[in-house]
Amino acid sequence: MSKDSKAERLKRMQMPAVEVPPEIAHRVPPGQAVTERFPILHEGDVPSYEMSAWTLRVFGEVAEEKSFSYEELLALPQTKSVCDIHCVTRWSKLDTEWEGVRFRDFLKGIEVKPEGKYVMIHADQDYETNVPLEDLLGDDVLLAHSFEGQPLSPKHGWPLRLIVPHLYFWKSAKWIRGFEFMTEDREGFWERNGFHNVAEPFKEQRFSGEAIPIPEDEWVRKEFD
């Protein structure tokens, strides 16, 4: 691909990438473009909810299965966290602010059996994604209900989404409804469909086998805020 055609395409973008000052260039993983917009990506329709019937379920390798209401989650200690997010379709967004319950704090109310080393995150519209438990214990892993000081919009995952900033953003499931603790790892939706099981952006762990041909400017064609 010639440089000219890439420049031409960049000019036509309705959601242009922004130039990143050299001081923060190290925060942008290889192959990513920074945007100030907020693309919207998901499988299926945006769900709507009757919140009195909404629950977040914890099951699998736990001493006791539990189900949390939205009120119960809002009553847990709340944390704000600013982080960078990186989507496998090559957009990154820096300094995003989320508020919710730290996964680590949420876990204090759950007795995970010692053999429960992996977690399947279950979400609405038949979405699921897998993450090792250890990856969910960091300061910036949140069950988020708010973004930039406002409740999440339905398209971005209201009432509750997971934020796992150090992995590609498909691991940050929107509309989460359950955590399943597992003795062995099992692949989620995208992981079964050719995406990398681990998904570290700085290692460019995009695909598990052959590269899936996602065009460099795929993300600019998505809906976005």
Note the residues at the interface with Mo ion (CB under 5 A): 41, 87, 170
In whole angstroms, the minimum distance from the beta carbon of 149 to ligand MTE comes to 16
φ and ψ of 73, to 5 deg:
-70, -40
**Inter-residue contact 56 to 178 (CB < 8 Å):** yes
In whole angstroms, the minimum distance from the beta carbon of 170 to Mo ion comes to 4
Selection from ligand MTE, Mo ion, none that 123 binds (CB < 5 to 8 A by kind) is ligand MTE
Which H or E run contains 99? strand 91-102
Q: Which is nearer to Mo ion, 13 or 41 (CB)?
A: 41
The long-range contacts involving 190-193, CB below 8 angstroms and separated by at least 24 positions, are 190/129, 191/129, 191/130
Pairing of strands 176-182, 56-60: parallel
Q: Give the binding site for ligand MTE (CB under 6 A).
A: 38-43, 87, 123-125, 127, 156-157, 169-170, 172-175
In whole angstroms, the minimum distance from the beta carbon of 110 to Mo ion comes to 28
In whole angstroms, the minimum distance from the beta carbon of 222 to ligand MTE comes to 8
* b/e code 32-58 from CB counts within 10 Å (16+ = b): bbbbebbbebbeeebbeeeeeebebeb
Q: Which is nearer to ligand MTE, 11 or 128 (CB)?
A: 128
**One-character DSSP codes across 161-215:** EEE-TTS-GGGS-SSEEEEEEESS----HHHHTTB-SS--GGGT--BSSSPP---
In whole angstroms, the minimum distance from the beta carbon of 126 to ligand MTE comes to 8
Structure tokens at 138: 């960091």
In whole angstroms, the minimum distance from the beta carbon of 167 to Mo ion comes to 11
Q: Which is nearer to ligand MTE, 54 or 112 (CB)?
A: 54
Q: Which is nearer to Mo ion, 160 or 199 (CB)?
A: 199
Q: In this structure, how many other beta carbons lie within 10 angstroms of the beta carbon of residue 83?
A: 19
Selection from ligand MTE, Mo ion, none that 160 binds (CB < 5 to 8 A by kind) is none
Selection from ligand MTE, Mo ion, none that 100 binds (CB < 5 to 8 A by kind) is none
147 DSSP β-pair partners? 98, 150
Q: Which is nearer to Mo ion, 101 or 152 (CB)?
A: 152
Selection from ligand MTE, Mo ion, none that 163 binds (CB < 5 to 8 A by kind) is none
Q: Which is nearer to ligand MTE, 41 or 110 (CB)?
A: 41
